[in-house]
Structure 1
Amino acid sequence: MLRHSAHVLPRIGSFHHTVGLGLLERLRNRYGDLVRLAKASRTRPVLYVFHPEMMREVYESQATEPPRWERSPLCEQRKSVPSLCPISGDETNAIWTGLRILFQDGTILKNYEKAFEEIAIDATERLGALRYAGNALNEELETEIYRWALETVGLMMFGLRLGCLDGDVHVPTPDNKTPEKTSMDDHTPDLCSLSKRSLADLTPAERLVRCTREIADGSHLVRSEHTLKTDSQVFAQALKAFDTHISLTDHFLTRALQDLDSGEMRPEQILLYKLRPLDRRILPLSSDILLAGIDPLVQTAISMFYQLSLQAAQQQRAHDEVAWSTASKDAGAGAIEMPYIAACVREAMRLLPATGGVVRRSMEPLAVGGYEVPEGVDLVLAHGVSSRLDTEWRRAKAFIPERWCTEGWEPIRASKAHSFASMPFGETCPATDIVNNMLSQLAMRVLEKYRLEWHGPAPNMATTGVNKLQPPFYFVLQNAA
């Protein structure tokens, strides 16, 4: 009678103590590469797909689409302001397809390199100022990474600096330091310094950072029972946050379009220039990119810092690569490529991808692994599990950037894994290549000046839309020798 619900019952259930990636890995280890859950408390059956070849079959079937949560707060908010969001679902799909094609053009990515580097330098300086006793990074680390991510993605979208990295760095004092949590405070959310200040004292960029953190911390983008009850306080809070977000996005888009029309086009304005014929339809697209792209980028950056903080030898090699490139540039020979930095980024995304799985809904019957899947099934393509399968990767749980390098040891090379085995953001995400560039620039500038260390217990991980390492963070930022 309980069906699959019995497996997650407290104490007696097989999976009651596992969540997120841990749950997916246990399902795969126990039941194989395809695991079907009947409806039970869900509105539709779910099929978990763990084998990369089966994932390829789903992607290439052309019989699935991302699910649309028609009663979600974001959908309701967009319906309430049609004049601000004049765009339909079919147009959205066409625009995202066009973006994927644009970002596959390497020449467009080169337009952003200098601007991304400048943002990474500014963010690194702020991280250095964030340190206190023993060079430990204070509680504002996550907010600073949000500032960097919004500034970077905003520049890509609008072709101008938003100002997220302006202003003083929050330094904790006995008066403003957040008190240590006790077991009674486990469910109390951590508030960033921006949430403790009056809105009137914040710039539009700081308001955007604050609003983005509110949406991420409240999991407002995740479909849940709370957010689907239109009379609940959570639903009302989500609507208010989305209203604020769209108005701030509109503010920066207006500035960007005026800047684009007023003078000679800069290299970083190339994306906005190509989207200019869409006119007001750029607004919902920009809002979607800032909503869907920031939290995964932030959590990937924090995960990358954590993996690097445990690997002194890999950090030294990355530092040497940056130093050689800088010396070459200063000598007039031009900057050399830095494949090892890029390899560190790719390995961090493989080991702990921001998204544990991509959901696709079958629009018509299709075949997966020899089984017929009917229409109306949610297929969870578990890239977070396939990226750590021992059958695909030698020493799958180890951080080995060399597997992505051409001179790496042959048995562990990434080229031996299935091409669909590691897809941190799914197969259809248009920004995978440009995200690698953003993270590489940040890693370069941080490792050029500092050494990352971790002085504390291993962090817990939670899955709320994306996979997140949970604070407190025990990062120490030592000056490079």
Structure 2
Amino acid sequence: MLRRVASNSVYMGRQNVTSLMVKKNKATVAATESLQDEWVSAKPFEEIPGPKPLPLIGNMWRFMPLIGSIPTDIVRLQDYFYKKYGDISKLEHIPGKNNAVFLFNVEDLEKVYRNDGPWPIRPGIISMLYYRKVTRKDLFEGVGGALLTHGKEWHDFRSAVNQIMMQPRSTKLYVQPIDAVAADFIERIRIIRDEKLEMPDDFANELCKWALESIVYIALDKRLGCLANDLESDSEPQKMINAVNVMLESIFLLDMTISPWRLISTPQWRKFVKASDFFNELCIKYINEAIERLKTLNDADRELTVLEKILAKEENPKTAMVMALDMMTAGVDTTSFTTATILHFLGTHAEKQDKAFQEIESFIKDKDQPVTSEILNELKYLKACIKEAMRLQPVAVGTARTLTKDIVLSGYKVPKGTDAVMTHSYLSKMDRHFPEAEKFIPERWLKSSEHHRSQSQDTHPFVSLPFGYGPRSCLGKRFALLEIETVLAKILRNFRVEYNYGELEYQSRLLVTPVSKLKFKMIERE
């Protein structure tokens, strides 16, 4: 009897598994047939609206001064394509570039992301990849990093650092030192205020020094001394900031404008190589110091830093080196300019700043009290202010994917190999996605807010993605937010911030950066 019951149980189990397999196969077949039907019925790629290329010279001439009509500024370029062509448009026949489609329908953006596959391809920064793989192959030894590579190489690198970089526990290790850096910055603000209590014309550089000091501590477990009052203009920290600025400007000019650098060594290419050599070799000196410290580490009770964890986990120390370099290259201008933008919104919206201050003061009773991870978790309104500012003025206007499969977007066939340009910053300022989209309303991000329930609960989750999405999202997101939240909490607890010079003007290059003087007025709180 028991044998028969057991036999029947096995039989029924197999039958259930078989049934599930059949259902799954049927669902897969149905989905495949649906995609095939969608492709067959879609309009051809050639019918997507866009500027018509001329024989031989294509569309490149449209970006040239005097004779061209398409702006090279990325924000204005997106505005041009949307107003002229609508939700989808194409740009073909640019020498050295894939055909591209500009997407302004959020359903198309989601579809592209959902079809990324395990190894998404993001159009790369060719100049920096060439520098690492060819020009300085002696230094990098074939390791390109997560920012620049694709396919298995990207996957292997990302897998090596992903868990370490993305764990909330890793971020908590740095709350105290990042708070210490922010405290030094508060004292620096007090020193550099003028008689009107305003910041100097070069306050953008002061923010860069704070950001560099913070990210170097995270990446290399080292204080550089960027916030010292006697820092010379030719000091190593200032030269590092200058080098990052040159590198980012050069990448824009080399990769996103007309440049023959891949054929001949241009002045701009040589300028990029010189800045990169200086920055990388100086950083590698600090990385080597960290490697030596790890060899002699005797404190068994101390948890390893991010750099130490990567060094301990990976056989090839170049993995840790490149990760640290990427963090420092990408973590100075992005963090500092984002902080400037948030300060501007708070400095021109007194009632929002007051609300943020009241929240901060309820957890930080004394002005000199350190910020802790527990306090940061409670600052819901401050986080909403940050999110709203990043929606209105993100430092990156969007992202792109090189399609790995044929796909239908807005009813058109778009073949694999095409670059899909996702215009997040443009979509996030549309009233169709955010009512009163041009207004700074942090409350729209608070789930407990009546404003949120009436305005934002139905907002598509793929509209505003300042840190990207999926496997290629920003590796340093948690650290960037830690730095920004900490320094803003300390600034608002110590000062009432005003900005009395109207709207900030921005320049859109590789990043969207403020070009106005950041003359914030810092009024001491009692």
Task: Please report the TM-score for the alignment, with normalisation by the length of structure 1.
Answer: 0.83
* CA distance in 2: counterparts of 1:34 and 1:465, whole angstroms: 23
Instruction: Give the alignment partner of residue 430 of structure 2, picking from 380, 385, 389.
Output: 389
Question: Is residue 82 of structure 2 the alignment partner of residue 82 of structure 1?
Answer: no
* CA distance in 1: counterparts of 2:427 and 2:302, whole angstroms: 37
> 1:316-355 counterparts in 2 under 5 A?
316-327=354-365, 335=375, 337-355=378-396
Instruction: Give the alignment partner of residue 23 of structure 1, picking from 77, 98, 118.
Output: 77
Q: For the Cα contact (< 8 Å) 1:361–1:377, is it kept in 2?
A: yes
1:138, CA displacement in angstroms? Answer: 0.7
* CA distance in 1: counterparts of 2:434 and 2:160, whole angstroms: 33
Q: For the Cα contact (< 8 Å) 2:260–2:266, is it kept in 1?
A: yes
Question: Is residue 473 of structure 2 the alignment partner of residue 441 of structure 1?
Answer: no
Whichever residue aligns with residue 420 of structure 1, its letter is F
Question: Is residue 501 of structure 2 the alignment partner of residue 456 of structure 1?
Answer: yes
Of structures 1 and 2, the larger Rg is shown by 2
Q: For the Cα contact (< 8 Å) 1:394–1:411, is it kept in 2?
A: no
- Residue by residue, what CA displacement relative to the aligned partner does 1:58-98 show, whole Å, maximum 9, x if unpaired? 1221265012354x255235423334213254444332345
- Residue by residue, what CA displacement relative to the aligned partner does 1:20-66 show, whole Å, maximum 9, x if unpaired? 32331343244332221222567332111223332121122126501
* CA distance in 2: counterparts of 1:303 and 1:249, whole angstroms: 28
- Residue by residue, what CA displacement relative to the aligned partner does 1:409-468 show, whole Å, maximum 9, x if unpaired? 244554431111111132121222332222111110111111221122423221110111
Instruction: Give the alignment partner of residue 267 of structure 2, picking from 233, 253, 257.
Output: 233
* CA distance in 1: counterparts of 2:67 and 2:138, whole angstroms: 52
* CA distance in 2: counterparts of 1:146 and 1:25, whole angstroms: 30
Identity fraction in percent: 22
> 1:405-420 counterparts in 2 under 5 A?
405-408=446-449, 409-411=451-453, 414-420=456-462
1:7, CA displacement in angstroms? Answer: 7.1
Q: 1:211 to 1:350 in 2, by over 3 A?
A: same
* CA distance in 2: counterparts of 1:19 and 1:401, whole angstroms: 28
Equivalent residues, number:
447
Q: For the Cα contact (< 8 Å) 1:402–1:413, is it kept in 2?
A: no
**Equivalent residue, structure 1, for 2:520:** 475
Question: Is residue 479 of structure 2 the alignment partner of residue 423 of structure 1?
Answer: no
SS in 1 for 2:137: coil
SS in 2 for 1:391: coil
> 1:70-469 counterparts in 2 under 5 A?
70=126, 72=127, 75-86=130-141, 87=143, 89=149, 90-168=152-230, 194=233, 197=234, 202=235, 204-219=236-251, 223=255, 224-226=257-259, 228=261, 230-263=264-297, 264=299, 269-276=304-311, 277-278=313-314, 279-327=317-365, 335=375, 337-408=378-449, 409-411=451-453, 414-427=456-469, 428-469=473-514
Whichever residue aligns with residue 274 of structure 2, its letter is K
1:231, CA displacement in angstroms? Answer: 2.1
**Equivalent residue, structure 2, for 1:68:** 124
Task: Please report the TM-score for the alignment, with normalisation by the length of structure 2.
Answer: 0.77
1:370, CA displacement in angstroms? Answer: 3.7
Unaligned segments of structure 1, at least 5 residues: 170-192
- Cα RMSD (Å) of the superposition? 3.0
Q: 1:146 to 1:217 in 2, by over 3 A?
A: farther
* CA distance in 2: counterparts of 1:52 and 1:260, whole angstroms: 47
**Equivalent residue, structure 2, for 1:173:** none
Q: For the Cα contact (< 8 Å) 1:136–1:475, is it kept in 2?
A: yes
Whichever residue aligns with residue 65 of structure 1, its letter is I
Q: For the Cα contact (< 8 Å) 1:73–1:239, is it kept in 2?
A: no
Q: For the Cα contact (< 8 Å) 2:203–2:519, is it kept in 1?
A: no
Unaligned segments of structure 2, at least 5 residues: 1-51
- Residue by residue, what CA displacement relative to the aligned partner does 1:364-421 show, whole Å, maximum 9, x if unpaired? 4233344321132221111111222211112111111111223222445544311111
Q: 1:268 to 1:13 in 2, by over 3 A?
A: farther
SS in 2 for 1:65: coil
Q: Greater CA deviation, 210-219 or 120-129? A: 210-219
* CA distance in 1: counterparts of 2:432 and 2:274, whole angstroms: 47
* CA distance in 1: counterparts of 2:300 and 2:228, whole angstroms: 24
Whichever residue aligns with residue 524 of structure 2, its letter is N
Q: 1:148 to 1:222 in 2, by over 3 A?
A: farther
Q: 1:346 to 1:99 in 2, by over 3 A?
A: farther
- Residue by residue, what CA displacement relative to the aligned partner does 1:179-235 show, whole Å, maximum 9, x if unpaired? xxxxxxxxxxxxxx72xx4xxxx2x43432232233235556861334735421111
Q: For the Cα contact (< 8 Å) 1:299–1:354, is it kept in 2?
A: yes
Q: Greater CA deviation, 241-250 or 270-279? A: 270-279
* CA distance in 2: counterparts of 1:268 and 1:139, whole angstroms: 41
Whichever residue aligns with residue 305 of structure 1, its letter is L
